[in-house]
Amino acid sequence: MKYRIVSLGCPKNLVDSEHIAARLEKAGYGLSDEADVVVINTCAFIADACSESIETILEEVQGATERNTRIVVAGCLVERYGEELPRLLPEVDAFVARDAYASIETIAQEKGFYGRKSPTRSENIDSSPRKVLTPVPTAYLKIQEGCNNRCTYCTIPSIRGPLMSRPIEEVETEFLGLLEAGYREFNLIGQDTTSYGKDSGKNVRDLLTRLLAVKGDYFLRLLYMHPKGIDDELLDLMCGEDRIIKYLDIPIQHSEDRLLASMNRGYSRKELEGLFEKIREKMADAILRTTVMVGYPGETEEEFNDLCDFIVQREFDNLGAFTYSREKGTPASRLKGHLPKGVKKKRYQRIMELQKDISKRRLSRFMGRSLKVIVEAREAGSTTGRLLLQAPDVDGIAFIRGECVVGEIREGMVVGTLDYDVIVELPASSFL
């Protein structure tokens, strides 16, 4: 039997797909484009993600009819809509919730819905082996599941449940296995990595310290850091350790106090300004990435303009923006003052135009500097990758000149910068 996985959404979903792949392969399935079973691991964070998931399912169903392939749907769409799905998408053979992943190799041959509405803690945190689907040297390391922040616009707690941190020993064991397999860039992920351990008497510094006790040439990157979880101790640890990438991914969502309070974000504009000033003081060359939301219910033109001013003042190296999506069941969906799609779209476009200029200006400071670059792909004589200071999938890329091998981490000179990307020249011999 052969299988194929379509993984939608975030890296956290990708790690779930890797657990599914390992289970299928243990049961004797082989990975192939010509698959007997296609597993679609869906995203359902916002309406657009749900639409993409459904469109992908229907596309796969159409192809499966021609090849007599079974379709299995997993992931957040199943967690969010559960037992309604067999009625809505009868073309799908099986829907599997997270608590039933342990039996997915059997479910792949069945039909119907598999899972319970109240999975146990152990079923929410998958500690089974993974078949890593990202090429060496980059891997994701999921350190937690769920979230306790309860932002008013967010569906994640209802889909993924409350915060559940993986034991430090378990994360360390997985880290050691990946390191032995040749992985060297580790992106630590969770809904809010700074909340790691708050449910078990630990914290993310404890985890980082444990991993850093392992000798070797590797790099750790923290993704999805909530502003209120970043303290002086964490920043000092990042400052003092070269193996922690000086990259801070801090979604702020907005800058204005009234909206931040309505979102239940737990901080003010003044606190954000203080945090970013402190980061720049401690790590002047650190990469700052953020995410902002435009078109939140009641957002005035003045508040949007103030957000734009904040972005210009802070000069984030990388910024992602999205328009507010009214999600059923969230407190924000019941607010007054929902804005037209056209207004939200225009605000999104303006933010991204602002950021393009900022990104280009920030990248220019790397001109003439020697930086670490990851070689990721070589096609038709063109080699691409990214600076170690660029996160996979969400930031720009590096166009690489010089002899190299895919999977290497090399030292290279930045000889050109574009809006989001860089051009890197490799010396004849620069292996780490």
3-state helix/strand/coil string of 65-119: HHHCCEEEEEEHHHHHHHHHHHHHCCCCCEEECHHHHHHHHHHCCCCEEECCCCC
- pLDDT at position 208 is 98
- pLDDT at position 17 is 95
Low-confidence ranges of the chain (pLDDT < 50): 121-122, 430-432
The answer for residues whose C-beta is within 8 angstroms of residue 35's C-beta and 6 or more apart is 2, 3, 4, 69
| Common-topology check for domains 2-118 and 123-364 | no
- pLDDT at position 65 is 75
- pLDDT at position 301 is 98
- pLDDT at position 370 is 96
Sign of the four-CA dihedral 418, 319, 407, 17: negative
Answer for the pair 410, 372: CB distance below 8 angstroms, yes or no. yes
* Domain 123-364, CATH homologous superfamily name and number: tm_1862 like domain (3.80.30.20)
The answer to whether the peptide bond before residue 129 is cis (omega within 30 degrees of 0) is no
Strands 382-387 and 398-401: antiparallel
- pLDDT at position 41 is 97
pLDDT digits (tens, 9 = 90+) for 112-170: 999 865 555 445 567 788 999 999 999 999 999 999 999 999 999 889 889 999 999 99
Distance CA 420, CA 331 (A): 36
Answer for the pair 246, 238: CB distance below 8 angstroms, yes or no. yes
Q: Which has the closest alpha carbon to 186: 373, 16, 392?
A: 392
- pLDDT at position 116 is 66
- pLDDT at position 273 is 97
Find the length of the chain.
432
Answer for the pair 276, 314: CB distance below 8 angstroms, yes or no. yes
Q: What is the pTM of this model?
A: 0.92
Distance CA 246, CA 264 (A): 28
Give the pair of three-digit tokens for residue 174: 């997985």
Class of CATH domain 367-425: mainly beta
Q: Which has the closest alpha carbon to 336: 326, 345, 346?
A: 326
Distance CA 131, CA 139 (A): 11
Q: Where are the domains of the chain?
A: 2-118, 123-364, 367-425
Q: Which has the closest alpha carbon to 146: 121, 128, 170, 127?
A: 121
- Region 2-118: CATH code: 3.40.50.12160
- pLDDT at position 127 is 73
